Amino acid sequence: MASPALICDTEQWKALQAHVNAIQKTHLRDLMADADRCKAMTAEFEGIFLDYSRQRATGETMEKLLKLAEAAKLKEKIEKMFKGDKINSTENRSVLHVALRAPRDAVINSDGVNVVPEVGATGKALTNVVSVGIGGSFLGPLFVHTALQTDPEAAECAKGRQLRFLANVDPVDVARSIKDLDPETTLVVVVSKTFTTAETMLNARTLKEWIVSSLGPQAVSKHMIAVSTNLKLVKEFGIDPNNAFAFWDWVGGRYSVCSAVGVLPLSLQYGFPIVQKFLEGASSIDKHFYSSSFGKNIPVLLGLLSVWNVSFLGYPARAILPYAQALEKFAPHIQQLSMESNGKGVSIDGVQLSFETGEIDFGEPGTNGQHSFYQLIHQGRVIPCDFIGVVKSQQPVYLKGETVSNHDELMSNFFAQPDALAYGKTPEQLHSEKVPENLIPHKTFQGNRPSLSLLLPTLSAYEIGQLLSIYEHRIAVQGFIWGINSFDQWGVELGKSLASQVRKQLHGSRMEGKPVEGFNPSTSSLLARYLTVKPSTPYDTTVLPKV
């Protein structure tokens, strides 16, 4: 018998749909009263503790989800990924970011060639580094850099150096990225897998001009290097391919933090030994993901629960809430990783999906988020939350006379919020507290809002690598179950090609006084309004940011 075209046509999917009703009838308050259930809904690996008892799920739900994993051939798909099969079928590519952090003696083949020996990195001390790149060539390295900055060991290694990122093509971002920098002591790293991304290339040309105008054209070879898969375009740009760090088409942009994309700028800043610990952390989770049974496998459990929340309980969003300022840039990275991977409309075979995939990811470190959008999470929309906490802070601060340390204060919130969401507060409780009648509806919390808690031992380079890998694999699990291609991104192309049409028209209007044409009435009138303001200097003169 031919297998169903879509996962939603399987018996296992239908069994979960039929099970939703039973779950809708139970409140998390009651589920949480079952101590055995709470104990069972945990998993641990190297001190990373996952508690998913506050998900709207029971043992039966988990059994059914594990059966769905079987129906989706999850085990086989994970094996294919690790083996280097071309699972990114729309681009005919392997998906091998795990090879970037594999032990040196591992064997991982792409096109019959072991890729592990090709993977290497270097560390070279320079005072200022500006890493120019966008999307996957920016967000992951920024997340790791922001996190490493708070690790005392890493911070010590980085003394006297600074690493900045330039992503947005907004000239204001260019000005910010080079403010107070001297080109003479600055190395510009152009990071682009394709070396064609419009924003990155214009920013790279701008910084090239910044260097040349101050140090002369010969300075480019000493002050600009590149990370790319496209060495031909690197050369055409004017960067010596000997100053380029290659990587491979089997590394997806958003999965490239562990390639030279992240490893090079981070090693320049912190030295390779620190970055190696980060890679080892990521690799430890790769092994756990590949070899642990699904019932105790942290990325698999997280992925299955996300599928449950999105596809069966109908929750369209997910909040990423690290109670760790070091993880300030984690949610922005996960936004790309998750939404570019799993925001798809068709199956990997091109069949229109009849169910939604992906979720809207957003987040902020706690407690800042509590004073921003938690109102909606508590009393408005139901949004499954990931609470991420750390047992040992990198900064032990305690004030004499205070009841708790500063980290305990932070973590009090980490422990309290999931219960507030799960249990809520009933009108009866409010009555017993003598709350005025008119305020009872406003102060009632329905509760029954799912979350999970991930508690890390600390946040050194090793755990930062582990956290990255957990989320990379969780997102892949979701895509494998949904039967989509989590490794392509055709959805970003249309906007890019329309922008190129607009660019042409802007050029024609500004340089040759041509009328703007070919747009709908709305875009035409917006463009006309934009073009009424003429540039303050002629277009054929170079103007660099004032810093």
When the beta carbons of 101 and 193 are compared against ligand F6P, the nearer one is 193
> Site for ligand F6P (CB under 6 A): which residue of 492, 498, 511, 543?
492
What is the smallest separation between the CB atom of 222 and ligand F6P, expressed in angstroms? 23
What is the smallest separation between the CB atom of 378 and ligand F6P, expressed in angstroms? 34
What would the two tokens of residue 329 be? Answer: 């840039």
- Does 192 interact with ligand F6P (rule: CB under 6 A)? yes
What is the DSSP code string of 360-386? EEEE--TTGGGGTTHHHHHHSS---EE
What is the smallest separation between the CB atom of 353 and ligand F6P, expressed in angstroms? 21
- Does 416 interact with ligand F6P (rule: CB under 6 A)? no
Q: H helices of 257-392, where? A: 260-270, 272-291, 298-307, 330-342, 374-379
Size, binding site for ligand F6P by CB under 6 A: 14
Q: Exactly one of 39, 371, 507, 514 is catalytic; name it.
A: 371
What is the smallest separation between the CB atom of 327 and ligand F6P, expressed in angstroms? 20
What is the smallest separation between the CB atom of 352 and ligand F6P, expressed in angstroms? 23
Q: Which residue has the tokens 């966008």?
A: 134
- Does 479 interact with ligand F6P (rule: CB under 6 A)? no
Q: Which stretch binds ligand F6P (CB under 6 A): 189-197, 352-360, 409-417, 468-476?
A: 189-197
When the beta carbons of 33 and 492 are compared against ligand F6P, the nearer one is 492
Listed in sequence order, the residues at least 6 apart from 474 whose beta carbon sits closer than 8 Å to its beta carbon are 299, 300, 302, 303, 306
What is the smallest separation between the CB atom of 256 and ligand F6P, expressed in angstroms? 8
Backbone angles phi, psi at 25, to 5 degrees: -80, -15
- Does 498 interact with ligand F6P (rule: CB under 6 A)? no
Q: Which residue in 490, 95, 466, 158 sits closest to 282, CA to CA?
A: 466
CA distance 547 to 542: 15
Strands 317-322 and 360-363: parallel
- Does 489 interact with ligand F6P (rule: CB under 6 A)? yes
> Site for ligand F6P (CB under 6 A): which residue of 193, 277, 407, 449?
193
Q: Which residue in 115, 19, 23, 11 sits closest to 450, CA to CA?
A: 23
Q: Which stretch binds ligand F6P (CB under 6 A): 36-44, 118-126, 188-196, 217-225?
A: 188-196
What is the DSSP code string of 216-254? -GGGHHHHEEEEES-HHHHHHHT--GGGEEE--TTS-GG
What is the smallest separation between the CB atom of 492 and ligand F6P, expressed in angstroms? 4
What is the smallest separation between the CB atom of 27 and ligand F6P, expressed in angstroms? 41
Q: Exactly one of 496, 504, 507, 514 is catalytic; name it.
A: 496
Contact in structure between 254 and 340 (CB atoms under 8 Å): yes
Task: Write out the binding residues for ligand F6P, residues 236-295 only, by CB under 6 A.
Answer: 253-254
Active site includes 433?
A: no
What is the smallest separation between the CB atom of 110 and ligand F6P, expressed in angstroms? 19
**163: helix, coil or strand?**
strand
> Site for ligand F6P (CB under 6 A): which residue of 87, 134, 147, 324?
134
Site string for ligand F6P, 290-309 (x = CB under 6 A): --------------------
When the beta carbons of 136 and 450 are compared against ligand F6P, the nearer one is 136
Q: Which residue in 361, 385, 343 sits closest to 482, CA to CA?
A: 343
Largest Cα–Cα separation, the chain: 79
When the beta carbons of 381 and 496 are compared against ligand F6P, the nearer one is 496
**319: helix, coil or strand?**
strand
When the beta carbons of 197 and 394 are compared against ligand F6P, the nearer one is 197
Q: Which residues pair with 129 in a beta bridge?
A: 163, 187
When the beta carbons of 56 and 254 are compared against ligand F6P, the nearer one is 254
When the beta carbons of 255 and 294 are compared against ligand F6P, the nearer one is 255
Active site includes 340?
A: yes
Q: Calculate helix-pair angle for 59-71, 298-307, nearest 10 degrees.
A: 100
> Site for ligand F6P (CB under 6 A): which residue of 53, 55, 61, 137?
137
Task: Write out the binding residues for ligand F6P, residues 330-369 only, by CB under 6 A.
Answer: 340
> Site for ligand F6P (CB under 6 A): which residue of 84, 123, 135, 418?
135
CA distance 29 to 37: 13
Listed in sequence order, the residues at least 6 apart from 144 whose beta carbon sits closer than 8 Å to its beta carbon are 257, 262, 266, 278, 464, 468
Q: Exactly one of 199, 340, 359, 463 is catalytic; name it.
A: 340
Active site includes 496?
A: yes
CA distance 58 to 530: 56
Q: Calculate helix-pair angle for 272-291, 74-83, nearest 10 degrees.
A: 140
Strands 48-51 and 451-456: antiparallel
- Does 197 interact with ligand F6P (rule: CB under 6 A)? yes
> Site for ligand F6P (CB under 6 A): which residue of 136, 281, 299, 363?
136
Q: Which residues are catalytic?
A: 340, 371, 496
What are the residues binding ligand F6P (CB under 6 A)? Answer: 134-137, 192-194, 197, 200, 253-254, 340, 489, 492
